[in-house]
Every structure is written in C-alpha cells, then in structure tokens.
Structure 1
C-alpha cells in the first residue's frame, strides 16, 4: 500500500521526543505532496535521495523561488530575494561570495584550537550549576549559554549584549512567535547588528566580524552574514545539547558507556547528531526537469527534504531507531550536504564533545526532575527541534 501525507509539519507520537513522526517514516523515499496553495511538489524522506538532491545544482536554495512553504498559502504574494549576506537562501555564485571569506575561520584545526576556551566556558557554567544546587533547568543553565558565549566571542558580540541577543534568536526560531513579535525581533536585531558592524569598522578587534570588515562586503552584507552565523551558532547547538542530554538520560546504558569510556565521545557526538537531527528539513526548488529515484521532478517543483527521516533510513543505517554510541555507520546528513553543508559543523562537534563529557563527569547522578510527559518540546512548527525546559536534579 502506498502511503501519502496531506499536512506538514507532521506530528510526533506522544512519548517519542526523539523519533521522526511515524507519518513520515512509513512513506516511500519520494512522495508527491500538495502544498496549501495547490502547488504540486514532493516530500523526500530517503537517505540516498535527500543526499543526491542536496548535492545537485539543478535544485535551488533561492528564497524568491520558495513560494511553497509547507504551512503557508502565499496566494498572489511575491517573495523577495534573500537580504544581502543571508547566503543560506542563495545559489552560487552569490552564495560562494559570502561563504568563501568564512571558510578559513571554521576549519577543523581552528576549532580544535578553541577547545581549551570551550572547556573553560563549560566549567564555568557547571560550577554555577553546582553552586546553585538542584534542581535546575538544563536549557537555561547549560545548553543555551555555552554555545551563546562561544559564538558571540567568535563574532565579537560584547558580553553584556548576549542575553538580549539570545532572546531575539529564540523568537526567530522557537516556533511560537506571532508575526508582529517576529518582525519586532528581526528589526531590533538588524538595528543592533548595524551598530556592531559600525563599531568593528571603527575599532576592529580579534574576532570574525572584525576580520570581515577588511573584505569588500558592505555593511548591509556584513549584517546578513552575522545574522546567519549567530542564529545558526546559537540555536542548533543549544538544542543538540539539551535534547542530547535528554536522550542519554532516557538511555541509561548509553549514558554509562560514555561515562566509562571518554574515548567514545567523538563517535557519540556523531550518533547523537544522526539520531536527533534537530534541523529537521530543508526546501529546494527544481530549476529544470530532474529524474530522482525513478520519479520525474518537474522544473519549478518545490521539494521538502526530510533530514530526520533520511538519518533514520533502514537502508542506510541498521536499526536506525536505536541510539547506539558505538555505531560504526557514518555519513549522516545532520549538517546537510553539498555547497550548503553547515559551515560551523566542526565548532558544533567541539562544543558537544566538550560540554556533554564534562556534564557527565561532573554530575554522574543527573536525572530528570519532572515526569517525562511534562517535559515540553518545541512545537513541530519550529525550524529546529528541541526542548523548551529540561528540569534536572542530582545527588548533591
């Protein structure tokens, strides 16, 4: 029987905060999907098919072509191109113009050199947790502030501005913000970034944004690049840390394995990235007729790429719904693939490895301080999957 789906985003099953919605996992690799405005597109859930489309330049990321969001009926609305600098919503050559000056700032070597600073930041927050005593909300005490401090230091955001900036990013990506609140947060963020760019031009410091002022990028372009880096660096890693901790607490054998064998940390990070896939989906638009997996995708068709189901594809990962920190199967798509593959992936890996192993070492008796059914997840409408609050306690 050929399964279909009529509404996106699909809803996860109660009690399954880590698994993709069953409506998606029961689909074939490529399924026709009708968008709210009647546009006939596709929903792609298979690993090979998602990976192939992400690597194919015949599929576009341009914002002005993305008229068919899974939940919006655009009607006669004309979608403008992405603002200058917001390169995730562009194709080459515009995309490469913004990305190229950044590549050298996020190499594996540079991120490894950051390890000691990430360790210091993590230890400071674990000290504060220990001094405060249980219970605490792990999201606000640990998962959000660690990547916030790291990315803000990298970009040169002053310490006193970080809390305010975090609030704006939460409104962008939390999935529960009204249109008016979203516009207000975006406007306030743009105003702040304009001031920050002006300050870096006047008095450069040792950070990525100051380095970029020495390129041919305009102030408006620098604001767009900074917004992309801050939003990605704050929200995705924060939710991986919170949801990753929750997943380990729900799987005591895996928690114990990581505590007893710190050398397992790198592999554990990769498995958590695969298993959780907090960046759930991407959109692409076919620029010409393309054959994918035996299906003809017509020019102009919008394609929803489901990363969380691709990373649970049984054809690619044996026992895909099992969290196994010793898994040997690499090649997950949690950071995407192709020219838009996450620029900050090495930074995210460092932060996860350092923060999670330090948390387990400091609080071996860590456990949820509320019934699991009371731990609220972000709504499925949120771009990034995650937990709103994670109350935890431990034996003091």
Structure 2
C-alpha cells in the first residue's frame, strides 16, 4: 500500500493543458503513496486527503464523518479561526441526519429511475431544438453555450416550474453565483439575488400550483424558507454538473477519435459509454467531511474535529478498483464509479443526468458526424481548479456543411 504517512503540502491550482481530463498530478502522486495522506489546512490545522476508492466510500457511508457546513474548514483559505454558520434551511447537502433526511426524503419519489426515464422524450425535444439552432447558425460554435448548458438548464427550470420568460435571466444570475473567478462581493450579491428569485418562485407556487416539483412540495409541511433552500440545491446540482459533463465529455471524445467511433458504432453501448465518461472525467472533483469523533481509517487515527478532503476524481482512477484507470474506454463493463458519490448524500438527480447524457452525446455526433475542435486542444480554456466543478469555459467546434 506504500507509505501511509505521505504528506501533501499544497493543493493543486492547475491541470496540465495536455492532460486536461486527468486529476491533478499532486493527487495522483498522493494516491501512489497510499489511499490517505496528511494535509495541513490553513491556520496549521492537521487534516487528511483521501484518494483511495474503498477508503473514500467508507468515509461517505460512515455517519461519524459530518457534512455540516459549520464544522467545515476551507482547504486553501485561512479565515482566522472564524467558522461558517450552519447551512440555511433546505440546503441539505451541507447537513447531517436528521435535518438532511427531512429535506431529501420528500424528493425521493420525484427523482425515481422510472420518472426520470419518462422525461427522455422531453430531453430529446430540447436536444433536437438546439441541434437545429446550431445547424441553422452554421459553424463555428461554442458547444458550451449552444448545447451543453441549455439542455440541463431547461430541464431543471421545467422541473422547478420556472416560467419560460424568466429562464434566461434566472440562469445568468445563478451562473454568477457559481463563478469561482468572480469577486467575493459579486458572488455574495449573485447568491442573494438567486435566493430572492427563488423566494418569489416559491410564493408563486403556493398561490398557483402547477405541474412541477416545487408545487408538489407545497403540499408538505416544509416552510417557504426550506423550499427556497431545496430549490437552490436542485438548481446547483441539476445545472452546473451536467452542463460540464456534456461539454467536457464532448471534448474528451473529440480528443480520442477511436473512442468516439466506438460510441457511434454501438448505440446499444451508450449506457456503458456514459458511465465511463462519468468515471473518467469526475467533474465533481472533491468534497469535504469532518470527523465527529476519533476514527480509525486506513491505518491512521483521525481525531475528532479533523477535516478531510475526499478526492472523487482520484478515487475513480484507483488502479486497485479499475483496470487501466487512466484510459478512457467506452466499452468498459466493470465500472462502479463514485462520480455521483455514495451513502446518504449520493446525488439525488443522477438518473436525470444520465438521461440527458444518454440522449445528448449520440444526438450531437449523429447530427454532426464531422464535428471537430475549432482550436488546438491545448488552447481550450479549462475552468480554474478552485471551482467546485471541473469543466471548460468554452469549447469552440466546427463541422463540414
């Protein structure tokens, strides 16, 4: 297993331009030394970096490791001992049981595999509309703004019941909140504006329910503040992650013509290809936990209060779990990745994301069989590593007319 006391001295800020889909080199190096490493958080707080697949899953399934925001430490910023307040009502990703369950359980019936599959026809309609628009405008195009963002944005807005005329402005405001390169002031302002818009949406659903998730939840005992927080979580989970999977997945396939050809040649294998792209890209890169008590983990004693960084993208490249983990193989069959997490916080909208990808990738390459990058691959701008989600800022493409 190697040296379990390997120490990571700094977190990566960039990825190699020629290896845009690989986890940062510092994380891969840590994994080579073993599944867990030491990491000193700003302010001199001793913590840990978990890079091994089995160890990461064990943390995610263990209630002794907390998701509470008020117990978290920022991995790169020292706030001088100040702690964050508890997560606002409804924002259940940053909560433990029983608060977490109060908000997640009412949503489980909404995001069933069966119900998400019933949305396939609507995803196909949205996809076709945007492919038509790309064809009408002609090459070149930015695949992020023309295709990858609109599909999940429209789907999540429809699920939440956002009026059609408000969707563009709603999406832009939310993107301002998610922009890792924005000033703190701008981020806080965008967050406040988004929450205000969601408060108006919740009030509208109370007064005039329609056929959407928020309207269904107004029949529960959840307060307006709680519904607002739940809506924010669904918006964040349903838009940014899938949009980046679609763009980064298209980039990966365009960089690897053999894998693209394999996907196009075997429509029945689309499900396997989607799961492999999820594993290989792991756009949800890292998540945090805090030990609530002393815990033995990977031969180490994790003291109560110790913060942990969980590296999903490195766990999904673990050679003890995956054969040739650094290779994109759309025919891969054994693929129990953790791209959607594990345990009680496993992504609620994962089936919707799968539906969108299963439709969008084959439709894109079927409609534009000569699709290719319009710039050298090394010039495609990646989102900064400080972003919660890995992806590209834009993806210039062209095709033969």
- Normalising by the residue count of structure 2, what TM-score does the alignment of the two structures yield? 0.97
- For residue 106 of structure 1, give the secondary structure of its aligned residue in structure 2: coil
What is the aligned residue count?
395
Distance 2:17 2:239 in 1: 27
Deviations 1:107-144 (A, max 9, x none): 00001100001000000000000000000000000000
**1:342 aligned partner:** 347
Q: CA RMSD in A?
A: 1.0
- For residue 370 of structure 1, give the secondary structure of its aligned residue in structure 2: coil
**1:117 aligned partner:** 122
Shift of 1:10: 4.6
**2:236 aligned partner:** 231
Distance 2:322 2:173 in 1: 37
Work out whether residues 169 and 235 of structure 1, in 8 Å CA contact, stay in contact via their aligned partners in 2: no
> After TM superposition, where is structure 1 displaced by more than 6 Å over at least 4 residues in a row?
none
**2:369 aligned partner:** 364
Distance 1:76 1:313 in 2: 35
Work out whether residues 179 and 187 of structure 2, in 8 Å CA contact, stay in contact via their aligned partners in 1: no
Deviations 1:169-223 (A, max 9, x none): 2223231111110011011111111111110000000000000111101001000
Distance 1:145 1:176 in 2: 22
**2:11 aligned partner:** 8
1:46 aligns with 2:49: no
Deviations 1:74-109 (A, max 9, x none): 213131100000000000000000000000000000
Could you tell which deviates more after superposition, 379-388 or 75-84? 75-84
Give ranges in structure 2 of 5+ residues lacking alignment. none
**2:288 aligned partner:** 283
**Which of 16, 24, 29 is residue 21 of structure 1 equivalent to?**
24
Deviations 1:333-363 (A, max 9, x none): 0000000000000000000000111001101
**Which of 368, 380, 387 is residue 382 of structure 1 equivalent to?**
387
- For residue 109 of structure 2, give the secondary structure of its aligned residue in structure 1: helix
Work out whether residues 283 and 391 of structure 2, in 8 Å CA contact, stay in contact via their aligned partners in 1: yes
**Which of 356, 364, 370 is residue 351 of structure 1 equivalent to?**
356
- For residue 105 of structure 1, give the secondary structure of its aligned residue in structure 2: coil
Give ranges in structure 1 of 5+ residues lacking alignment. none
